[in-house]
A and B are shown apart, each in its own frame.
Chain A
Amino acid sequence: MHRIARRGLAIAATLVVAAASSACGGTGDSGSKSGDTTGVTDTEILFGTHMPLTGPASAGYSKIAPATKAYFDYVNAQGGVHGRKITYKIKDDTYNPATTNTVVRELVLQDKVFAILNGLGTPTHTGVLEFLKSNKVPDLFVASGSRSWNQPEKFPHTFGFNTDYTVEGKILGTYIKKTWPDQKVCFFGQNDDFGQDSLAGLETVLGADKIVAKQNYVTTNTNVAPQVAELAKAGCQVVYGATVPGFTALLIGTAAKLPGGTFKPQWVISQVGADLLTVGTTLGAAKPLLKGMVSDNYLPSVYDATDPWIKLFKDINDKYNAGVQFDGNIVYGMAVGYLTVQALQRAGKNLTRESVVAAVEKGGFKGPGNVPLRYSKSDHSGYGGMRLSKVNDTVDKQDYFGNPFTTDDGKGEVKEYTEAVPAPPANGIGTA
């Protein structure tokens, strides 16, 4: 009886202590009267992101966030934005939506980041949209071209960055239609919104019945031989790939290994999976297979050494990113950093979550892109077009050709865009 009493006493004491501690700490911390300043102090702004640093999609993509961080370090060394240094917390989600879910909660609930910046991936980021919305966290410049990011009424804090996959599908489709009018066109895509949005764009231009074979893949299964064999059987002459870099390499490598070695279609690959250095590194000795691959992009070309943006980014890469191999992922990461700083400059000294969203919605940002960013109150999508590129015969360059094109994700026509890209400011930091 004694023991039971003692135990009861112990439990009761624990309850009292716990209740007392819960009563003490009950004050919320989000927001002063003028807005939500979570993650912002007088000296610091904290951003967080989820990235595939390891796993099936990490090839190339793992370099993006460190490049953005390097750009922030460059800005911090010049005094930061309105006296605040930018801190960037990078979390690995291995491109697994379940892990993304956990790390984003950790960033928002525990680390109390100001915003999620450039979270990468269509399947991964789709799963956290609702969570970010219910916590009113700015969700800036998602690293994917899914159209889901452009739903200002449903997700008022989410903004895309990439040219969306449907716009891309229409632009590449227009080029295919003009260049190879009589050839059999096929499609190979990721089995999520990435693949579906790309296919929708392609079908808008070519017509659904003109695509003779459609195959897809899942990132958790690296054997694409059955799908590639189907493409070969259908006699595909042009294959449009909506693939991440690792799967671009698998697609092209597997096609070359088919018995007979006769399946050599013209490859047309989405921008997100077509960086020559990234795919070339993955293919290794088989890199020459990339000869003549057509793709597109909206950021300055790594191979244009005279481009002032490339000079700036290369310089920052050498100083703040340990001079890692300078490829399209670095340019991408730095461009995201540049735009973020522009938005912060515009949001002003009294930075809040509300003010940064309003700053992005104001639109009209001028930066490294060869087409305009589309941001407005009613449009949360990123870049609105693409410029075509092609891998040369010696497979060491992926140069642009022709003018950029712009279009919308509906039935609108594909138009040439002729305005020149502005030069970067002298100190390399964008103004509002």
Chain B
Amino acid sequence: MTATEEVENTRTQGATTLARASTVRGGAFGRTLVRHAVYALVAIVVLIVLTSALAGTGNTFLNYQLAMVCAYLCATAGLTFLTGINGQLSLGHGALMATGAYGAALTIRALADRGIEAVWAVFVALLVGVLAALVVGAVIGAAAARLRGPYLAGVTTVIAIVVPAITTTFDGIFKGDQGLSFVTPSPGAVPALLSNEEWQAYLGIGCAVLVMFLLANLISSRFGRQFRAVANDEVAAKLSGINIARTQVLAFVVSAGCAGLGGALMAAITQQAAPGAYSLTLSLYLLMAIVIGGLGSLAGAVWGALLLVALPDLSTRITDSLELSPDLAQKLDGNLALAIFGLFLIIVMIVAPGGIQGLVRRLSGRLSARRRSAGS
């Protein structure tokens, strides 16, 4: 691309951004809000029915997995917002989840020490987890706004490595590799009606739908267009009067808050905060998940969160079902999930560069086109 072309390109993009921004008026936004609220309500109803249906099978592990999908979804949605919408790469979101997890764990333990084991303690813990991640996110975001490309990737990778190490260095507070264990308060008065895993699933559903609702609205708001404008072309965005650094820091903080909630939720579900759950691998998994799911749309984040739970499970099923020699099964057990994930990434990138969501959109587009032509 020549220099003139580039300038020309910049101008066009700036112009489209402005044009799009100018079409937005209160009425349109109000309609979007109502539509998102309806989606959220439908999602809640469907997921609640799904939860009790899963519990009805007698296998509450499925409820546990559903709760984990919700926890991962908070983080992948946040990361999609940061990477897909705002164009900033983060290899350190696992560490932000850890921040949320430890914030929540320390809160629940502190409250339990004072004899408080009511259900509201969980909500306080989730809130503390989010706040802790927001603070850390603001600090990292401020640094990240000055960095581009590989440098940003480098800094966030360091965060992903440092945070678990902090827990083993200050093992007086964080209890090292062993981590913090606790009992997550639950409305256990009627255990026959509501198993612990069901309650965790409901908790997860509530948080995940809230995150999706807020992010969807944010993305389609005026701020959302600013975030997109910055991702598309910083020069053009600047020309349109957008404060680049502030937008980027804000995006990082929002994304960190979501990851923090995901981590706090994960701690509440597993009744534990241990560094082994938030290693560098998790950060890389999160990024892989949103890329496979479909970067740039929140629906892609849902696919990603599903995969994060389903793929490791699938790999254990494969090793269990094959009659392997104990030695080979032993070698595969810990490693097959990684291989499947990698293979899946390669296939998706070749077959569907837009991720699973891109593929779904393409297929449904083709289907409706066929239906239309058949109907005419």
Q: Residue A96 at the B interface, CB < 8 A?
A: yes
Central interface residue in B50, B175, B177, B331, by most chain A CB within 10 Å = B177
Distance in angstroms from A147 CB to nearest chain B CB is 14
Q: Is the CB of B181 within 8 A of A54?
A: no
Q: Is the CB of B272 within 8 A of A54?
A: no
Q: Is the CB of A191 within 8 A of B176?
A: yes
Q: Is the CB of A129 within 8 A of B181?
A: yes
Q: Residue A127 at the B interface, CB < 8 A?
A: yes
- Residues 44-74 of chain B, each 1 if its beta carbon lies under 8 Å from chain A, else 0: 0110011011011111111010000000000
Chain A positions within 8 Å of B277 at CB level:
96-98, 101
Q: Is the CB of A92 within 8 A of B330?
A: yes
**Bound-state Cα–Cα, A109 to B181, Å:** 20
Chain B positions within 8 Å of A25 at CB level:
53, 56-58
Q: Which of chain A's residues 53-92 have a Cβ closer than 8 Å to chain B?
A: 53-55, 62, 66, 92
Chain A residue nearest in CB terms to B325: A322
Q: Is the CB of A191 within 8 A of B334?
A: no
Q: Which of chain B's residues 80-134 have a Cβ closer than 8 Å to chain A?
A: none
Q: Is the CB of A109 within 8 A of B330?
A: no
Q: Residue A221 at the B interface, CB < 8 A?
A: yes
Q: Is the CB of A94 within 8 A of B56?
A: no
Q: Which of chain A's residues 99-145 have a Cβ closer than 8 Å to chain B?
A: 99, 101-102, 105-106, 109-110, 122-123, 126-127, 129-131, 134
Q: Is the CB of B330 within 8 A of A29?
A: no
Q: Is the CB of B178 within 8 A of A126?
A: yes
Central interface residue in A24, A28, A101, A219, by most chain B CB within 10 Å = A101
Picked from A14, A21, A62, A131, the residue with its CB within 8 Å of the CB of B56 is A21
Chain B residue nearest in CB terms to A133: B183
Chain B positions within 8 Å of A127 at CB level:
178-179, 181, 270-272, 274
Q: Is the CB of A26 within 8 A of B333?
A: no
Chain A positions within 8 Å of B32 at CB level:
none
Central interface residue in A23, A24, A54, A193, by most chain B CB within 10 Å = A54
Distance in angstroms from B216 CB to nearest chain A CB is 18
Q: Residue A208 at the B interface, CB < 8 A?
A: no
How many chain A residues touch B (CB < 8 A): the figure is 46
Q: Which of chain A's residues 1-42 have a Cβ closer than 8 Å to chain B?
A: 11, 14-15, 18-19, 21-29
- Residues 324-339 of chain B, each 1 if its beta carbon lies under 8 Å from chain A, else 0: 0010001101110000
Distance in angstroms from A320 CB to nearest chain B CB is 12
Known interface pairs A22-B56, A53-B330, A109-B60. Does A218 touch B274 (Cβ–Cβ under 8 Å)? Answer: no
Chain A positions within 8 Å of B330 at CB level:
53-54, 62, 92
Q: Residue A220 at the B interface, CB < 8 A?
A: yes
DSSP majority for the A interface? Answer: helix
Known interface pairs A53-B330, A134-B196. Does A110 touch B276 (Cβ–Cβ under 8 Å)? Answer: no
Known interface pairs A28-B58, A130-B183. Does A220 touch B326 (Cβ–Cβ under 8 Å)? Answer: no
**Bound-state Cα–Cα, A119 to B176, Å:** 20
Q: Residue B171 at the A interface, CB < 8 A?
A: yes
Q: Residue A192 at the B interface, CB < 8 A?
A: yes
Chain A residue nearest in CB terms to B175: A192
Known interface pairs A28-B192, A109-B59, A191-B171. Does A130 touch B276 (Cβ–Cβ under 8 Å)? Answer: no
Q: Is the CB of B57 within 8 A of A123?
A: no
Q: Which of chain A's residues 376-409 have a Cβ closer than 8 Å to chain B?
A: none
Chain B positions within 8 Å of A55 at CB level:
334
Q: Is the CB of A97 within 8 A of B197?
A: no
Q: Is the CB of A220 within 8 A of B168?
A: yes
Chain B positions within 8 Å of A28 at CB level:
58, 192
Q: Is the CB of B177 within 8 A of A219?
A: yes
Distance in angstroms from A275 CB to nearest chain B CB is 19
Residues of A within 8 A of B (CB): 11, 14-15, 18-19, 21-29, 53-55, 62, 66, 92, 94, 96-99, 101-102, 105-106, 109-110, 122-123, 126-127, 129-131, 134, 191-193, 218-221
Residues of B within 8 A of A (CB): 42, 45-46, 49-50, 52-53, 55-62, 64, 164, 168, 171, 175-179, 181-183, 192, 196-197, 270-272, 274-277, 326, 330-331, 333-335
Add 11 more A-B contacts to A22-B55, A25-B53, A66-B326 (CB < 8 A).
A29-B58, A96-B276, A96-B277, A101-B272, A102-B270, A109-B64, A122-B178, A123-B178, A129-B181, A134-B196, A218-B168
A-B contact list, 6 entries, CB within 8 Å: A96-B276, A97-B274, A101-B271, A110-B61, A127-B179, A192-B178
